[in-house]
Amino acid sequence: MLEGEPGCGKTRLARAVAYEFGRKYQQNGQKWPYADWYIKSSDQARDGLYIYDAIWRLYDVQITSQLSTSDVLDASEREKIRTRLSDTKHHAYITWGAIGEAFRVSQEGQRMIVLIDEIDKADPDLPNDLLLELEEKRFFVKETGEEIRVNPDYQPIIFITSNGQRKLSDAFLRRCIYCYIEFPKPDKLQEIVTARFGNRRKWTKQIIETSVSRFCDVRQKMEEYKGEFGKKVSTSEFIDWLNALELNSKNATDLKSLLLEEKIPYPNTLFKSRDDCEFAGELGDE
């Protein structure tokens, strides 16, 4: 379970782990198995497991029962329909969700990385409806009675993110390992900027240090202005701001001039509300 300020990198962590696992363990340049489930407010727990297309199966049953089927479909299409209907597990009519796919590929000897993003956005019942699946690593396909069970040697690694908009139940949290992602310190921010921009000529070490210093100063003043729990500029917005500076500067001299302007250049990449933009203007007047 990952929590932290919006924009701190929670969502990207799962894909980053899959990338690193692929580099370390996979053969022949293959990607590490990865699946994600971006939660919507209307989602139910079953959406993360599977979706059964009963209408498609009903269509197949009806069309094969019509006397004029031979006039409507060629032989290859009729054979495909017969093959789908003859599968007692009905897998052709099932679309596997991120968790369902991870459980299935474990039976093939693959350990998948799964992201369940912003679970606090869902209906309060959704996390509790996943308790069996998360603890016992199994679920049933209701329409067929098939049990999908994880191979214990290849259990998926499931990253769940939350922005803390809704309190999650104790029963759900008990099944998670909790991690709060702290905002990076200045030296870590310098590492991030160097990794993103350090291979470009205009981004000298001094300019990288200047950009981090300017950003940290703005963030500190925002904390004084909004309090500890107010929305402050995030790491992702910092990167967006640097991209804007990159696009609008021809060389290191231009870039340095932008960073040292009294008023923050391209403030709309950093600030996402009218109050914050007004706050940015006041910073330039100080």
pTM here?
Answer: 0.84
pLDDT at 245: 93
Q: What is the number of domains present in the chain?
A: 2
pLDDT at 107: 94
Mark whether 144 and 211 lie in a shared domain.
Answer: no
| 20 located within any domain | yes
| 7 located within any domain | yes
pLDDT at 221: 87
pLDDT at 43: 93
pLDDT at 76: 80
pLDDT below 70 — which residues of the chain? 27, 67-72, 227-230, 284-286
Residue 116 near residue 39 (C-beta atoms within 8 A):
yes
pLDDT at 68: 54
Nearest to 127, CA basis, from 163, 170, 98: 170
End of a domain among 181, 198, 231?
181
Domain carrying residue 218: 186-285
pLDDT at 227: 67
pLDDT at 85: 87
Residue 97 near residue 37 (C-beta atoms within 8 A):
yes
Cα dihedral 81, 87, 91, 94 in deg (nearest 10): 60
Mark whether 206 and 255 lie in a shared domain.
Answer: yes
* CB count in 10 Å sphere of residue 109: 9
pLDDT in tens, 109-151: 999 999 999 999 998 899 999 998 999 999 999 999 999 999 9
Mark whether 162 and 27 lie in a shared domain.
Answer: yes
Within its chain, how far is the Cα of 129 from the centroid?
21
Mark whether 23 and 146 lie in a shared domain.
Answer: yes
Mark whether 165 and 247 lie in a shared domain.
Answer: no
End of a domain among 159, 181, 203?
181
